[in-house]
Structure 1
Amino acid sequence: MAGRGRVSGSSVVALCVLLVALVACGGRTAADPVLAEVRRVLDRRAAAVLDHDRAAYARTGTAAGFDNLSAVPLAAWSYRVTDVDRTGDTAVADVELDYRVDGYDRGPVTAGRTVRLSRDGADGAWSVDSDRPAEESGQQPWDQGAVRVVRGEHSLVLGVGQSAGALRGFADLADRAVPAVPDVWDGDWARRVVVLVPRSLEGMAGLLGSPASSYRGIAAVTTGETGGRERAPADRVIVNPDAYGLLGALGKQVVLTHETTHVATRAHTTRATPLWLSEGYADWVGYRATDPSPSRAAPELARAVSGGRVPGRLPTDEDFGFTGEADELAEAYEGGWLACRMIADQWGEDRLHAFYRAVGAHDERAGAAEDAMNEVLGTTPEEFTARWRAYLRTEFD
């Protein structure tokens, strides 16, 4: 019969659409039974986590790690399977874990995981053999051991290998830091922080998915996505207990206030914001209550200026690299702090806040600080740098 081998143009389009719908990344079809079964297993596993049901969790495979996270208050926990590589009765799944801590996270933490599974020969059911951080992804606290939880008025501290007393000390510091930030930053943020305190520097590096050498001497860092004007990222203040323990009482408070400032300003900190401004502003807030002398708070820069080595430019992002020399890193932080302090002194605190927001409002780094200097401060980058260099000479005279 004529026409039986023909397919109309509209049918070809429909067929192509159907094929696109069925084929996933890497050629795996959405209807692949292994992919579907792995998703079902992980969905049951996620439900067991939220229900605090250890028996149900164990029925999906290994129960390793369940007790480690049992104290963490969770509002959400889900897995998204992006790929499955099956070999006979074993499979490796690339998974994204999304979770939120109840009462603290507006948006989820997303972590890459590698889940290994095997199939029981008797009933053919798939079960989880291991669930570990994906390559180049950081650990979660429960990957390092049992998590101890201490609640503060404005904070939640999650610690591994730390005593309840030590974690209470961090909660007290965070509870003083959180109210200090709104005194100067009138932004829309949760006014709560989550602090992670691992056992050691190596534990901190594991949480960040980086070598320990990158953070030696760094007391704490804050993680979270920048540019959150349309998003609500989940921030974490991660402490290096080795370096943090060497600080005095004032230094410990300054560090927690500094990191809390990063959390508060996250929505206005974008790829347009240079590190001298984001780090300098956080230091300015941290030091604001005590306003120490520049010679005391910026000893490396004081030595440089006193020795006739006045920096010729503001610190660049590269100057803040954790892998560089310690004194150069210190000078970068100190230079950023004094640049922000100068703005507050010479233009006023309101202009400093407005300048920070104006820079972050740009879509690109190029021209962001320059335009904000012109619009908010009424100056140019060249004039600003000259004033900053003169300010350093005055403060360290």
Structure 2
Amino acid sequence: MPPVRRSLVRVLPLLLSALLAGCGAPAPRDTAEREVREAVAAWARTPPAQLAGIPLEDWAYEVSAVRRSGGAATVRAELRYRLGGHDAAAAVSAREVSLAREDGRWRVTGDRAAPGALPQLWDQGPVTVVRGTHSLVLGAGRDPATLSAIAAEADRAVPAVSAAWPGPWAGRAVVLVPGSLERMAQLLGRPVAEYKGMGAVTTGRVGAAPAPADRVVVNPEGWAELSQEGRRVILAHEVTHVATRAATTATTPLWLSEGFADWAAYRGTPATPEQAAPALARAVRRGEVPGELPRAQDFAFGGDPEALARAYEGAWLACRTVAGRWGEAALVDLYGRAGREPWPVAVRGALGIDPQELTKDWQETLREQFR
């Protein structure tokens, strides 16, 4: 024992010195890096001119890395901000900030999306802001009259959606209008082909965790081709996704999510199944009654447009069938349950039947509607 004890006595001071060195304060950054970080922080306190009019709150850059080369520097940072009155939590964007050293001081010369990160709308040019009663419309490269018309549609959509979805939601919509289809695809980080022919899409995280408000992103080319009624339906559909986002999870069938959005959009209108589901009507009259409710892959864009139309129309008619036979409250209950329970349990709990019976009821409705 004594030899061991003596060994410990000799080693402990060395270990203690190492631990103290490792646990002490980190080595201070060099003066130039500190000045770069301070320049970014000072610049962030005054958002760029192209953001004027946007109700920004909590605008801040958290610097994660600094690279310097002579009189130039590049900073990787996380931008966090909220749209006042709309975002419940901060939106986050990975950014790359450029600086140059002039007259002995660092000055920010550029700010852009970091490599691999999605751009923000203002990266595509100056932003025009239109505030509606229930909406905030931000456009880049769009005339104010177009943006005002979109805000008016959003203001009509919000109360209509609230009447269809009694669950809690913000009761507001944020709409982004890029300058072109290509710019829309850039914002969403997807191929252009996925959005051709679409009027608008919605972005957002599913589930009830705190998250920024969803953004409805308008395809200006698809929007221009829509009738007034088509624009009303499309925007109400997308706003319904905003309203139901907290109740939507990975377990929610895609047909239910899309069908409910269409059901809410058409609710209270005189549209008949013949008018709103022409592709499905043609298929049923050919004897092609679907063997099952639309699958997730049936909603993929870029394929057969007739098949895609049948998927959306079939989903709408499935929700319309539930609302017609069990009541609107049962449809809302089914939606809520589907986001937190296994599908068979959700169907039995909301409707008192099993999923196979629901499919048969839907198929029978299709035969009755499109004889």
TM-score, length of structure 1 as denominator length: 0.84
Distance 2:256 2:21 in 1: 54
Counterpart of 1:132 in 2: which secondary structure? strand
Distance 1:324 1:115, change over 3 A: farther
Aligned counterpart, 1:315: 294
Q: Give how far 1:126 is off.
A: 3.6
Aligned counterpart, 2:199: 219
Q: Give how far 1:188 is off.
A: 1.9
Aligned counterpart, 2:162: 182
Aligned counterpart, 1:204: 184
Distance 1:163 1:379, change over 3 A: same
Distance 1:290 1:40 in 2: 57
Structure 1 unpaired stretches of 5+: 23-28, 50-65, 363-367
Count of matched residue positions in the alignment of Structure 1 and Structure 2: 365
Q: Give how far 1:15 is off.
A: 6.0
Aligned counterpart, 2:369: 395
Aligned counterpart, 1:358: 337
Aligned counterpart, 1:113: 95
- Partner residue of 2:57 out of 69, 75, 82: 75
Q: Give how far 1:211 is off.
A: 2.2
Superposed, which structure 2 residues align to 1:116-127 within 5 Å?
116-120=98-102, 123=104, 125-127=105-107
Aligned counterpart, 1:381: 355
Aligned counterpart, 1:99: 81
Aligned counterpart, 2:266: 287
Aligned counterpart, 2:150: 170
TM-score, length of structure 2 as denominator length: 0.90
Aligned counterpart, 2:39: 41
Distance 1:117 1:108 in 2: 25
The letter for the 2-side match of 1:385 is: T
- Partner residue of 1:160 out of 140, 161, 177: 140
Counterpart of 2:79 in 1: which secondary structure? strand
Q: Give how far 1:336 is off.
A: 1.4
Aligned counterpart, 2:251: 272
What's the RMSD between the two structures over aligned residues?
Answer: 2.5
Deviations 1:250-290 (A, max 9, x none): 11111111111111111111122121111111110000021
Q: Give how far 1:322 is off.
A: 2.3
The letter for the 2-side match of 1:271 is: A
Distance 1:5 1:111, change over 3 A: same
Superposed, which structure 2 residues align to 1:251-266 within 5 Å?
251-266=230-245
Counterpart of 2:201 in 1: which secondary structure? strand
Distance 2:338 2:362 in 1: 18
Contact map agreement 1:232 1:267 (CA 8 A) in 2:
no
Is 2:354 the counterpart of 1:348? no
Aligned counterpart, 1:26: none
Q: Which structure: larger Rg?
A: 2
Structure 2 unpaired stretches of 5+: 1-5
Deviations 1:31-61 (A, max 9, x none): 5766654443222122112xxxxxxxxxxxx
